[in-house]
Amino acid sequence: MRILIVEDEKKVAGFIKKGLEEETYAVDVAHDGEEGLHMGTEGQYDLIILDIMLPKVDGLEILSQLRTQGSDVPILLLTAKDAVNDRVAGLNKGADDYLTKPFAFSELLARVRVLLRRGKAEVKTILQIADLTLDLVSHKVDRGGDEIELTGKEYSLLEYFMRNQDKVLTRTMIAEHVWDYNFDTFTNVIDVYINHLRKKIDKGRQNKLLHTLRGVGYIMKE
């Protein structure tokens, strides 16, 4: 899952980014409204955390423009405690939820999880391909009864593959969903992580799940 934070207070943005990355989300940050609108328009995000009071372009204008463009990405507004009118205006313009400052990260995380699940016909907590399972709650990965230890980035990569079973994923698609906005796609980091992941889930097993399509990308299938 990839999340965009649009927040001009760098300490607040850094606090949220660190916490979400520890939960294995890929996170981008914009520190003003102009940059946030550009990233929200051009990037592919599963959720946007949007402060209302921003320099250059305010959060409500960003929200309005994204909805006018047809974007249905869930948007969580961050507002001042006494800004009732802003909260009402934000919800009327298409925001999905709001959170007042200051807030506990645990509450933010709970709201993020709810918004990422909202609108899905079925809420899955376990992803499975063949005998490989990934628990979205405990973050445990198991294959054939053997628990597999993964780093945070390996876990995010595996989750992305398992959510897109039987689909060819290009390096650009993987970079956009698992790494952040500033990732250098010309490095071999993606290939290195995929090799690490393949060794952990496929090494020594007859049924290989992660496959390379040379010149195209990667696919996970039975």
The tokens describing 68, both together, are: 């006018």
CATH of the domain at 45: 3.40.50.2300
Question: Which amino acid is residue 109, in one-letter code?
Answer: L
Query: Could you tell me if 113 and 132 lie in one domain?
Result: no
pLDDT in tens, 25-76: 889 999 999 999 999 998 889 999 999 999 999 999 999 999 999 999 999 9
Query: Could you tell me if 18 and 110 lie in one domain?
Result: yes
- Surface-to-core class of residue 10, CB atoms within 10 Å of its CB (0-12 exposed, 13-18 middle, 19+ buried): exposed
What percentage of the chain exceeds 90 in pLDDT?
61
Which pLDDT does position 59 carry in this prediction? 93
Query: Could you tell me if 107 and 49 lie in one domain?
Result: yes
Query: Could you tell me if 99 and 130 lie in one domain?
Result: no
CA–CA distance, 136 with 15 (Å, rounded to integer): 23
Cβ 177 vs Cβ 44: under 8 Å: yes
Question: In the chain, how many domains are there?
Answer: 2
Query: Could you tell me if 39 and 77 lie in one domain?
Result: yes
- Is 188 or 176 the better-scoring residue by pLDDT? 188
Query: Could you tell me if 77 and 147 lie in one domain?
Result: no
Q: State the average pLDDT over residues 157-169.
A: 92
Query: Could you tell me if 213 and 135 lie in one domain?
Result: yes
Which pLDDT does position 119 carry in this prediction? 53
Query: Could you tell me if 102 and 164 lie in one domain?
Result: no
- Surface-to-core class of residue 127, CB atoms within 10 Å of its CB (0-12 exposed, 13-18 middle, 19+ buried): middle
Question: Cα-flanking dihedrals φ and ψ of residue 37, to 5°?
Answer: -65, -40
Question: Which amino acid is residue 56, in one-letter code?
Answer: K
pLDDT in tens, 108-140: 999 999 898 875 544 567 899 999 999 987 889
Which pLDDT does position 178 carry in this prediction? 83
Query: Could you tell me if 58 and 76 lie in one domain?
Result: yes
Return all residues near 133 (Cβ < 8 A) that are at least 6 apart. Answer: 126, 127, 141, 142, 143
Domain span holding position 63: 2-117
Which pLDDT does position 193 carry in this prediction? 92
Which pLDDT does position 82 carry in this prediction? 65
**Domain edge (last residue) among 117, 149, 168:** 117
Query: Could you tell me if 108 and 130 lie in one domain?
Result: no
Query: Could you tell me if 78 and 154 lie in one domain?
Result: no
Which pLDDT does position 91 carry in this prediction? 86
Query: Could you tell me if 102 and 9 lie in one domain?
Result: yes
